[in-house]
Every structure is written in structure tokens, then in C-alpha cells.
Amino acid sequence: MAFTLPPLPYAYDALEPAIDKETMTIHHGKHHQAYVDKLNDAVAADASLADHSIEDLLAGISKLPKAVRNNGGGHWNHSLFWELLAPAGQGGEPSAELAAAIDADLGGMEKFQADFNAAGAAQFGSGWAWLIVQDGKLKVTSTPNQDNPLMDVADEQGAVVLGADVWEHAYYLKYQNRRPDYLKAFWGIVNWNKANELYAAAKG
Ligand code: MN
């Protein structure tokens, strides 16, 4: 079973002005498609990789080819990222459970957002900022390249609740070098309904 590009769950211009239509069109249709295509090439080249879920591949990524790490991570990260965004006003609010955990584990929403943005801004080169559940508690972390907290190579492993792509391809057309401005705008288009679902599953 080949991996496929999931359709974007909203129109390419639906996240404007936070993320512009051209960025979304290229990001989804070119960058994510390329991760899918190269992941399929890498899996097709090694019979032992056939018929594994993407999550299975990521969990044992230290033993797999670099092309699977880069492109499998790219495919999983982007598939989730599209779902973690929603047009402004349509993403709901943090659930009572998630909000309580942000207060208890991360010092409240304001400090959490500042720490998340700092993690994204401080990630050297390309990568991702994450909110994860680790040993039952929320934690803010980041990964380089297309790594993620599901990978056995990640410094901080856990279940993802929220993530932000901080590769330049995610923001450069509109924000140029101003990654912090992009991260600030990110909070206006977070799909909290999806984050709530992921948090409940991680705690379940
Ligand atoms: Mn990306």
C-alpha cells in the first residue's frame, strides 16, 4: 500500500491572512507531495519495509534508511499539521482538561505559548516545535529537520498534541526571515478541537 497525500481539510486560502494561499498551495501540493513520493520510493526499495504503518516505521526509525526518516517524518508531520490548523474562529478552544493540564504542567496558557514560540524560534535551521504528553505530563519540545517525538531518535519522546512547522518553506513568502511573527500568527489558526482529541487519546 503506497502512502498518499491527504487532501487539505480546507481551501488553500482558508488560513489567510495568517498563512497565505500561495504558501499553502506550494507547501501541501509540492513539499508534502514530495515527502510522500520519496517515502514511497524508499519503502519500495526495501521489501522489509513493506506493509508497515507510518507510526511503526517512525517508532523504529534509528534502524531504517535516512530517506525513510526524512520523508516518513515529513509525511507524518505534515499530515497532522494540516489537521492542527483551522480557519480563524473555527478551531474551538482548549478543552477544560487540556487547559487544566497547561496550567498545571506548563504554567498557564500565556507561558506555554511563549515557551512554544521560543522553542520554534530557537530551533536552528529547519524543524518543528511540539507540545507532547510524556509520562502523563505536557511538555514543550522541538526537533530538527523532519524528526518528531514519535521517533526513537528524538531527545524528547511522547504523544503529539500540537505542532508547528518552522521550516522556512512554511512562512518565507509572507514573513521572510520573521519566524517569530509567523509563530505569533499561528495561534490564531490553531485547531484546538484536534489538539483536544489528541490530548484525550494520549491520556486515555
Ligand atoms: Mn513543511
Does 74 reside within a domain? Answer: yes
193 contacts 93 by C-beta, under 8 angstroms: no
What are the residues whose beta carbon lies below 5 Å from ligand 1 (ion)? Answer: 165, 167, 170
CA-derived radius of gyration, the chain: 16
Packing angle of the helix pair 66-83, 33-44 (nearest 10 deg) = 140
From ligand 1's centre to the CA of 32, what distance in Å?
7
Give which of 176, 156, 160 is closest to 168, Cα–Cα: 176
Give which of 122, 39, 125 is closest to 79, Cα–Cα: 39
Range 113-118, long-range pairs (CB < 8 A, 24+ positions): 113/187, 115/140, 116/140, 116/162, 116/164, 116/183, 117/180, 117/183, 117/184
pLDDT at 45 over 90: yes
Does 8 reside within a domain? Answer: no
Mean pLDDT of the chain: 97
Does 9 reside within a domain? Answer: no
Does 12 reside within a domain? Answer: no
Binding-site residues sit at 27, 78, 165, 169
From ligand 1's centre to the CA of 52, what distance in Å?
23
pTM of model > 0.85: yes
Residue pLDDT, tens place only, 62-119: 999 999 999 999 999 999 999 999 999 999 999 999 999 999 999 999 999 999 999 9
Does 7 reside within a domain? Answer: no
From ligand 1's centre to the CA of 165, what distance in Å?
6
CATH code (residue 37): 3.55.40.20
From ligand 1's centre to the CA of 201, what distance in Å?
25
As a whole number of angstroms, the distance between CA 183 and CA 13 comes to 18
pLDDT confidence band for 204 (50 / 70 / 90): confident
From ligand 1's centre to the CA of 169, what distance in Å?
6
Does 4 reside within a domain? Answer: no
Q: Which domain holds residue 49?
A: 20-203
From ligand 1's centre to the CA of 176, what distance in Å?
15
From ligand 1's centre to the CA of 31, what distance in Å?
7
From ligand 1's centre to the CA of 104, what distance in Å?
31
156, HSE (Cβ side, Cα atoms, 13 Å): 19
Total domains in the fold of the chain: 1
Does 169 reside within a domain? Answer: yes
Binding-site residues for Mn(2+) sit at 27, 78, 165, 169
Does 80 reside within a domain? Answer: yes
C-alpha cell at 23: 504558501
Residue pLDDT, tens place only, 128-165: 999 999 999 999 999 999 999 999 999 999 999 999 99
Provide CB contacts within 8 A for 99, sequence distance 6+. Answer: 93, 109
Whole-angstrom CA distances from 114 to 10, 23, 62, 129 are 28, 25, 32, 12
